[in-house]
Structure 1
Amino acid sequence: MDENIKAWLFDILQSIKEIDSYFDPGNRRYDFYIQDIKTKRAVERDLEIIGEAVNRIKKAKPDFELTNARKIIATRNRISHGYDSISDEMVWGILINHLPRLKAEIEKMFS
């Protein structure tokens, strides 16, 4: 695997781990998330990093297989440029439903 792609995959994995660290283990709660502006902004920043890393991977190697790559990039663009259209529910859905799968997919690439 190309060294740049490895670095970007590592950045994605690191951002997911950072997001995980914002919550007490086994206690990821929506009510905490929506009440803590620092956590919300930190999560959004990590999602931007994930989206930018995926974008760089796809530009460097368009045929690189990564589930939901277009949606990840679109989410990054929406957070960066359409910040007023971001809802807590949308971000929470990504945290609960999509990040665990993305994390598993990337960890598998490194194993």
Structure 2
Amino acid sequence: MIKQKKDVRVYLDDILNAIVHIEEYTTEGKRLFCRDDKTQDAVIRQISIIGEAASKLPVLLRKKYKQISWKEAISMRNILIHEYSATNVQRVWDTVKKDLPVLKKVITIMLNDMDGGS
């Protein structure tokens, strides 16, 4: 069976959808996030999806949108998956509040650019 490459838009949509889920999961604020293992697990899962999808984006595309530290996004996924015992909840929260809004904006721009800027 031949494995077909996914359209880049699929990965961008995956990233955008993961961010939307994280926004929904964290509406109650930091205090609840830090106390609720289920919310932490859900957010960490979505961050890992972001990192995996980012790793599938063509290098040339990632280089075009330098406002994102793609290497960090991919590295965070690897840390959360492979070094799970070292997960720092504060770092996850900081990522949610500081990095994801910027990533969401850039992914939206990328999708818009692919659609001809419409």
Give TM-score scaled by structure 2 length: 0.82
Question: 1:108 — aligned with what?
Answer: 109
Larger Cα Rg: Structure 1 or Structure 2?
Answer: 2
Question: 2:71 — aligned with what?
Answer: 70
Q: CA deviation at 1:63?
A: 1.4
2:24 to 21, 25, 31: 21
Identity of aligned residues (%): 30
Runs of 5+ unmatched residues, structure 2: 113-118
Within 5 Å, give how 1:25-64 maps onto structure 2. Answer: 28-57=28-57, 61-64=58-61
Q: Compute the RMSD of aligned alpha carbons.
A: 1.5
Describe the SS at the equivalent of 1:64: helix
Give TM-score scaled by structure 1 length: 0.87
Instruction: Give runs of ≥4 in structure 1 deviating > 2 Å.
Output: none
Q: Which amino acid aligns with 1:62?
A: V
Runs of 5+ unmatched residues, structure 1: none
What number of residue pairs does the alignment pair up?
Answer: 104
Q: CA deviation at 1:3?
A: 6.0
Which 10-residue stretch deviates more, 73-82 or 61-70?
61-70
